[in-house]
Structure 1
C-alpha cells in the first residue's frame, strides 16, 4: 500500500507540530507549512513548506509542489489559525477581517486547492481544527468564536457535497491546550479610559490561565490518528477537559438566559 501523504497547515509549533510528529511515527509522509519555515529549520523533523493561508499563490504553489513530488495528496489537516480577543466595540474592523481570513477563508481556500487531486484519486480526507469556543459566543472572544463556528457549519454542508466523490470531511474542536497561540494572538489593548477595562482585563487573565494550564497537544494528535483510520468519520469531534466538552451539552439543554448567566459567572462579569 502506498504511503499516505499528509498536508498540515500551521505545523511549525503546537498542535500542528504534535500531529505531524505523531503521524510521522505511524508511517505517514508529512508535509507541514509555516509562514516562516526558515525559523524552524533546525527544529523540524518533517518537511516544512512556506505557506500563508491568506495568499492564493502561496497555497497553489505548496499543493502543486506536493502533488508533483508525490503524485498524490491523501489527507489535509487545516490547523493554521490565529487568536483574537477584545471588546467587540474596540476591535478594528481590519483585525476582524484578518482573523476571518486566517481562521475561515484560509482553510476554505486550502481545501479548494486539494480537492481536484483527491477527486482524481477517488478518495481523500479533510480535517478542520476548529475550537470548542466555536460552539458558544464567549465574551471578549466573539470574533474567534464566530470564525470557528462558521468553519464548523460550512464543514457540515461541504462533507455532504463531497460524499459522492468518496472525500471525507470532519472537524476537531479542541478545548484549552498548552500551545503558543497567545504569542500570535491579536488582542485589543487594555485602554485606561475604556468602559470595558475591568471586565476585559479579568477575562484576558482567565484566557491565558486556561491556555497555560491546558492539556498536551499529543492528545489531539492521537485523536487525529484514530480518525484517519475510520472508514466513516463523524461530523464533529470535541476534545478537551470534561467541563469544556460538557459546556456544549449544557448549551443544548439549558434555556439561553440560564446558559448566558452561567458563562457570566464563570468570567465574573
Structure 2
C-alpha cells in the first residue's frame, strides 16, 4: 500500500481550509491543519490541528517542526490562510495595508521558507497557493486585497522556476467569490468613505450579493483534490466563471475587459479620455 502523502494546510479551521482538510483526509491523505486557536477548530476525522499564526516567524517554525517530527516529511503545502479588506485605496492606511500583506503574502512566504528545506532534501514536493481571480483582475474598493493576490501570483511563478530542478512545483488556485466568512465579513478601512461613499456602497452591495450566491468552499477543495491527482498545471481557475474570466483577461481587448468590469461592479460608463 502506498505511503500516505503528508499535507499541511494553513487557515484550516474554517472556509476553504476546513473543506479541503476534510476532503483530503477522506481521500487518504495525512492532513495537518494550522489554526490560530486549534481549540476552536471543529474536529475533523483524519485531521490533526496545531497552533499556527502565519504572521509570526516563531509560530511558523514551531508548527513546521512539529509536523516534521510527527510525519518525517511534508509532501504538500497548501497556503490558504488569508484576510480581506474593503475600502478606497486612497483611504487605506499603511498599517491596514501592512496587516493584509502580512497574512496574504508574507504568511505564504514564511511557510514556503520553512517547508522548502525538507522538500528539497526529499527532492519532492508541491506548494499550492490559494490565490483568486483578483490575482489577475482588478476589483474597485478591494485594491489592497487584489494587490496581495497579484503579489502572490508573481512570487509563485518566480518560485516555481527556482525550485523546479529539485522536483518541487507551485500551483496557483484561482477561485472567484466563494461563500465563506472571509468574504462575507471582510474588514472595512477605518477612514470615512467621504467622496467615495455612494459608489463604494453600491459596489460593495453588488459584491456581497455575488458572495452570498457564490459556490461553497467544497468546490475549491474538490478542485485541489483533482489537481493532486492530475498532470501538473500551474494556473487553475476554480469553476466555470473563474475559467471564463481567465480566458477573457487573456484574449479580450483591454478596453472591453475594462468596460465589462465596470458594469459588473455597478459603475457607470467610463469617461472618454
TM-score by length of 1: 0.93
Pairwise mapping of residues 83-232 of structure 1 onto structure 2 (< 5 A)?
83-182=84-183, 185-188=186-189, 191=192, 194-230=194-230, 232=231
CA deviation map 1:6-49 (0-9, x unaligned) = 00000101111111100101111110011121112x54442111
Structure 1 Cα separation of the partners of residues 177 and 239 of structure 2: 7
Structure 1 Cα separation of the partners of residues 165 and 254 of structure 2: 38
Note if 1:27 corresponds to 2:28. Answer: yes
Structure 2 Cα separation of the partners of residues 163 and 109 of structure 1: 19
Q: Contact 1:132–1:245 at 8 Å: present in 2 too?
A: no
> How many Å apart are 1:251 and its aligned residue?
2.5
With over 3 angstroms needed to count, the CA separation of the structure-2 counterparts of 1:175 and 1:30, relative to structure 1, is same
**Runs of 5+ unmatched residues, structure 2:** 268-273
Greater Cα shift, 139-148 or 214-223: 214-223
Structure 1 Cα separation of the partners of residues 164 and 153 of structure 2: 17
> How many Å apart are 1:197 and its aligned residue?
0.5
With over 3 angstroms needed to count, the CA separation of the structure-2 counterparts of 1:240 and 1:185, relative to structure 1, is same
CA deviation map 1:151-197 (0-9, x unaligned) = 11211111111111111111101112111113652212583x70000
Aligned partner of residue 252 in structure 1, secondary structure: helix
1:255 alignment partner, one of 248, 253, 256: 253
Q: How many residues align?
A: 265
With over 3 angstroms needed to count, the CA separation of the structure-2 counterparts of 1:184 and 1:58, relative to structure 1, is farther
Greater Cα shift, 195-204 or 217-226: 217-226
Q: Contact 1:190–1:197 at 8 Å: present in 2 too?
A: no
TM-score by length of 2: 0.92
With over 3 angstroms needed to count, the CA separation of the structure-2 counterparts of 1:184 and 1:110, relative to structure 1, is farther
Pairwise mapping of residues 50-61 of structure 1 onto structure 2 (< 5 A)?
50-61=51-62
Structure 2 Cα separation of the partners of residues 129 and 146 of structure 1: 14
Q: Contact 2:184–2:211 at 8 Å: present in 1 too?
A: no
With over 3 angstroms needed to count, the CA separation of the structure-2 counterparts of 1:102 and 1:212, relative to structure 1, is same
Structure 2 Cα separation of the partners of residues 39 and 13 of structure 1: 10
Structure 2 Cα separation of the partners of residues 53 and 59 of structure 1: 6
Structure 1 Cα separation of the partners of residues 246 and 24 of structure 2: 29
Structure 1 Cα separation of the partners of residues 203 and 227 of structure 2: 34
Aligned partner of residue 65 in structure 1, secondary structure: helix
Aligned partner of residue 60 in structure 2, secondary structure: helix
Structure 1 Cα separation of the partners of residues 227 and 243 of structure 2: 18
Q: Contact 2:11–2:35 at 8 Å: present in 1 too?
A: yes
> How many Å apart are 1:223 and its aligned residue?
1.4
- Give structure 1 regions of 4+ aligned residues with deviation exceeding 6 angstroms: none
CA deviation map 1:113-142 (0-9, x unaligned) = 000111111101110000011111110011
**Runs of 5+ unmatched residues, structure 1:** none
Q: Contact 2:16–2:180 at 8 Å: present in 1 too?
A: yes
